[in-house]
Amino acid sequence: MTMALLRRAGQTVFVLFGVSALVFLVFFATPGADPTARIAGRNASTQVMENVRREYGFDRPLPVQYMTMMKKLFITRDLASYADRGEMVVPEIMQAAPVTASLVCGAAFIWVTVSIAMGTLAAAMKNTWVDRTLMTLGLVGISIPVFWLGQVTNLVTQSRYHDTWLFSWVPGLGYVPFTQDPWGWFRSLVLPWFVLAVMFIGLYGRVLRSDLVALEGEDFMRTARAKGLSPSRIFLRHGLRTAMITFISLFGLDFAQLVGGGALLTEVVFGLPGVGRLTYRALTTLDLPVIMATVMYSAVFVVIANAVVDMLYLLVDPRVRDGR
C-alpha cells in the first residue's frame, strides 16, 4: 500500500508539471501573439512594455520564460497585474480563496448529507411513490440553472419579501469574514450554500440510488443474506459502502472544480468575492496574469483531488488495495 501511495504521489507531481507547462504555452507561447502586450494591458506605454519584457524574460528562450513565470507564481509570488495598477496576483487569490472555500465546504456538507439520505431511502423503497417522488425532485434540482435559482432567491429574500418576518434576517449581498462575525458569516452564506447544493443533491442522490439498486444482485450481497444478516445491515454496511466508491469519485472531482473557481455563477449572483468572481472580473478586463494564476490554482486543486480520491479508494475498496 505504501508503494501505491508513493507511486500515485509521483504521478501527481508529473501531472502538475504537465498542466503548468500546458497553461504557460497556451497563454504565453501562442504564435502571432505578443505576451508582453497581453500582460501590460491595453494602451500600455513603451516604458511599461519594456519593463514587462525584461521582468518576465520574454526576450529569452521559452524554457527560461517558463521557469521565470513558475518562480513568480509559486516561489517569490510576486506575479503582478499591470491591468490592475500593479496589484500582486497571488495575495489576491489567497484573499479570495477562504471565501470560495467557505461557500463550497458548506454546500458540500449539505449536498452530501441530503443526497445520501435521499439515495438510500429511494433505493430502500424502490418502485414506490417515495422512490418516484424523490427521484423526480432530484431531476428537477439537476435541471434548474444555478444562476436562475440564485436570482430568484435574491428576488424573494432581498427585494419582494425582505421586510417580512420570514426573510428579515437575510443580510445584503456580500461576504462577512468568520473572524469578524461568525453569525454574520453564516447568514451571508446560508442561502448561497443551498442554491449551490441543489443541483448536486439531485445528481448524487440519483447516482447513489442507481448504484444501490444495481448492487442488490451482486454475489457478496447474496452471501450476506445467506448468512442471515439483517436486511438493514446488509443494505447499509455492505451495499452503501460499496456504492460510496462512485460517490467519492464524483465528490472529489466536483469539490475540487468548485473550489478552483467552478462556483463562479453563485459567487457573482450573491456578490461573494471568491476565486470565481475574481476570475470573472479578470476575464472581463483581459487581465492575463490573474487568468493564468486562477487557472493554475484550479488545475492544482483538481489534480490533487484526483490523487486524494485514488488514495481513498485504497481505504474504501479492498479490491483496489489488493490489486495494487
Q: What is the predicted pLDDT for the residue at 110? A: 94
Terminus-to-terminus CA distance in the chain, angstroms?
A: 7
Q: Give the per-residue pLDDT at 190.
A: 92
CB 80 within 8 A of CB 290: no
pLDDT for position 83: 65
> Beta-carbon neighbour count of residue 121 at 10 Å?
15
Q: How many CB atoms lie within 10 A of CB 79?
A: 24
- Decide if 134 contacts 122 (C-beta within 8 A): yes
Distance CA 258, CA 279 (A): 13
| pTM as predicted | 0.81
In sequence order, which residues have a C-beta less than 8 Å from that of residue 57 and are 6 or more positions away? 64, 65, 68
One digit per residue, pLDDT tens: the chain, 324 residues? 667 667 777 777 888 788 888 878 877 766 656 677 767 766 667 777 887 788 777 778 888 888 888 888 888 887 777 666 667 888 888 888 889 889 999 999 999 999 999 988 888 888 899 889 999 998 998 888 888 999 999 888 888 777 777 888 888 888 988 888 899 999 999 999 999 999 899 899 998 888 888 877 677 777 777 777 666 777 777 677 777 778 887 888 888 888 877 788 899 899 899 888 888 888 887 777 888 888 888 877 777 777 777 777 666 665 555 544
Q: Residue 324: what pLDDT? A: 46
Residue labelled with grid coordinates 417522488: 133
